[in-house]
């Protein structure tokens, strides 16, 4: 870590004084040093640039009028070189116009001459506090990116990589997004990542589970509600979730569950960008980005008369369809490893990975509960397992029991291609043979090289019928 990256605590800072007046510069350094700061002085902007590049500072205090390069030139350079450095401009009495110019260039504050030591220290402490706050905000944003951003999403399958690429392209727009897919597939995580990558990331992100709120309360919950008798001290207007999201993003989860009367009112909000609370005639302007999620195909709901067509088109500016986990098998191993890492950290265990047989079970199971079910399965394996790696017996019984429906019927329902069917059947036979690839290839009537290619694995040294 460089000295520039190593920021001091809000109470103590590294300060560079830039002034061709040696006496004044020495005085400022003494005042700052006595207060506990680390301070030094140089006599020109050119020397200041070299010191900043070599050392790094929290605060630079510069005179504006110096021979050669001016303090204004130094401020402009500092803004380009390291915007985190707070600049305080020292100005002569009556030089207000120059001070305003310094502020426009990026100075945090100005100190008019002559000044008292207390005023100098107050300006430095204020700048350090502001710098510490900016550093904390940057840290929190980095944590939010790591937890909620696109980089936190696992995407090994082509379809998920394409969806994330689309989401990245549209994230910074204000356009509505409709994300459809089965429960547990990752719709909410995609929605949060879109918000996190947008210019609204520092503004509210409000989630509304439309299916979990009783119909009688939903309208007031979304749009707000006027309470008490108008004109009395008891009268007040409670903000709804849409107003809470002003300036940011609102996620309407299970949007298909909205009753038709609420759909009409939501349509007006999206069209007019105004909210009218229940029981009020007052319209409140809102600026928000809407992301809607649905487990159902909203086109079918529109055709059935359960969802308004005009609202559907307003929500469906950017359409995304997240497939079930069973249709993106390539994501399963990486997701399993991610969840294993998470639950290792949470439980203090050190499970190193998955046995070959356990890995085959994970990629062969249908995962009706999608990513959420996979996460629960890995949590169970970490909690109940005793070995250094996850074994088949550590996984939920449903993964180890034959499914009660026909394999070919399932393939037809999912619309599997012949190639996909070959791979799925090969995995099923491999499980039956305890992971023995040589025996499996012989039973399938193919060579081992073809089997490895189907499984997407690198060919291993020859194995016996027992191994």
DSSP for 402-415, written as a single string: PPSS-HHHHHHHHT
Pick the CATH number of 14-141 from 3.30.750.24, 3.60.20.10, 3.40.120.10, 3.40.50.2300: 3.40.50.2300
The radius of gyration computed from the CA coordinates of the chain, to the nearest angstrom, equals 31
143/153 Cα distance (integer angstroms): 14
Structure tokens given for 30: 């003494």
* The domain made up of 327-455 is a member of CATH 3.40.50.261: no
Work out the angle between the directed axes of helices 22-34 and 117-148 (0-180°, nearest 10). Answer: 60
pLDDT tens figures, 96-130: 777 788 888 888 888 888 888 998 899 899 988 88
Q: Backbone phi, then psi, for 181, in 5-degree steps?
A: 160, 165
Q: What is the mean pLDDT of each run of 10 residues along the chain (467 residues)?
A: 40 88 91 92 92 90 88 90 89 72 86 87 89 74 70 89 95 95 93 93 92 90 82 75 94 94 94 90 91 92 91 96 92 94 93 92 91 95 94 91 59 70 78 76 83 70 48
Which residues contact residue 131 at a Cβ distance below 8 angstroms, ignoring those fewer than 6 apart? Answer: 7, 10, 13, 58, 59, 84, 86
Residue ranges of the chain that CATH labels 3.40.50.2300: 14-141
460/450 Cα distance (integer angstroms): 13
Structure tokens given for 436: 């023995």
pLDDT tens figures, 355-403: 999 998 998 898 999 999 999 999 999 999 999 999 999 999 988 875 5
CA distances from 308 to 174, 256, 268, 294, 301 (A): 22, 10, 12, 14, 8
Pairing outcome for strands 318-321 and 14-18:
unpaired
Instruction: Count other C-beta atoms under 10 Å from residue 200's C-beta.
Output: 21
The three-state secondary structure class of 389 is: coil
Q: What is the pTM of this model?
A: 0.64
Q: Is 277 left (phi over 0), alpha (psi -120 to 50) or beta?
A: beta
Residue ranges of the chain that CATH labels 1.10.8.60: 327-455
Query: pLDDT at position 65, please?
Result: 85
| Cα torsion 196, 248, 295, 179: sign | negative
Query: pLDDT at position 280, please?
Result: 85
Query: pLDDT at position 9, please?
Result: 43
Pairing outcome for strands 177-180 and 109-112:
unpaired
Query: pLDDT at position 437, please?
Result: 81
pLDDT tens figures, 417-460: 777 778 778 877 877 776 778 888 888 888 888 887 777 666 66
CB 430 within 8 A of CB 456: no
Query: pLDDT at position 221, please?
Result: 93
CATH code: domain 152-323 is 3.40.50.300
Q: Backbone phi, then psi, for 432, in 5-degree steps?
A: -60, -30
Instruction: Count other C-beta atoms under 10 Å from residue 353's C-beta.
Output: 13
């Amino acid at each position: 870590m460089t000295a520039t990256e190593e920021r001091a605590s809000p109470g103590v800072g590294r300060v560079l004084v830039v002034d061709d007046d040696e006496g004044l510069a020495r005085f400022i350094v003494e005042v700052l040093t006595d207060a506990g700061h680390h301070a030094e002085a140089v006599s020109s902007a050119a020397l200041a640039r070299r010191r900043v590049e070599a050392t790094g500072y929290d605060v630079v205090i510069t005179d504006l009028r110096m021979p050669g390069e001016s303090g204004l030139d130094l401020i402009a350079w500092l803004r380009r070189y390291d915007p985190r450095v707070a600049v305080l401009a020292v100005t002569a009495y009556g030089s207000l116009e120059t001070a305003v110019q310094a502020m426009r260039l990026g100075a945090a504050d100005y100190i008019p001459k002559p000044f008292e030591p207390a005023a100098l220290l107050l300006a430095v402490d204020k700048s350090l506090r502001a710098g510490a706050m900016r550093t904390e905000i940057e840290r929190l944003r980095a944590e939010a990116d790591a937890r909620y951003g696109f980089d936190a999403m696992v995407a090994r399958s082509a379809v998920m990589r394409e969806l994330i690429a689309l989401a990245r392209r549209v994230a910074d727009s204000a356009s509505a997004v409709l994300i459809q897919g089965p429960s547990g597939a990752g719709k909410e995580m995609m929605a949060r990542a879109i918000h996190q990558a947008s210019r609204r990331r520092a503004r509210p992100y409000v989630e509304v589970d439309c299916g979990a709120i009783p119909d009688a309360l939903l309208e007031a919950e979304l749009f707000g509600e006027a309470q008490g008798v108008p004109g009395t001290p008891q009268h007040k207007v409670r903000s709804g979730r849409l107003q809470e999201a002003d300036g940011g993003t609102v996620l309407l989860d299970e949007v298909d569950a909205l009753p038709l009367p609420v759909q009409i009112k939501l349509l007006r909000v999206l069209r007019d960008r105004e909210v009218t609370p229940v029981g009020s005639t007052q319209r409140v302007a809102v600026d928000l980005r809407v992301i809607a999620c649905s487990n159902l195909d909203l086109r079918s709901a529109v055709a059935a008369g359960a969802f308004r067509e005009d609202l559907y088109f307003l929500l469906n500016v950017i359409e995304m369809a997240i497939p079930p986990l069973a249709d993106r098998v390539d994501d399963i191993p990486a997701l399993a490893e991610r969840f294993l890492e998470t639950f290792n950290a949470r439980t203090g265990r050190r499970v190193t990975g998955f046995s070959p047989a356990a890995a085959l079970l994970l990629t062969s199971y249908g995962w009706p509960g999608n990513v959420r079910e996979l996460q629960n399965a890995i949590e169970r394996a970490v909690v109940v397992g005793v070995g250094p790696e996850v074994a088949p017996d550590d996984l939920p019984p449903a993964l180890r029991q034959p499914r009660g429906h026909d394999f070919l019927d399932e393939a037809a329902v999912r619309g599997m291609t012949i190639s996909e069917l070959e791979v799925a059947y090969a995995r099923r036979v491999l499980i039956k043979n305890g992971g023995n690839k040589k025996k499996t290839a012989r039973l399938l009537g193919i060579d081992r090289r073809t089997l490895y290619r189907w499984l997407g694995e690198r060919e291993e040294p020859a194995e016996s019928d027992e191994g």
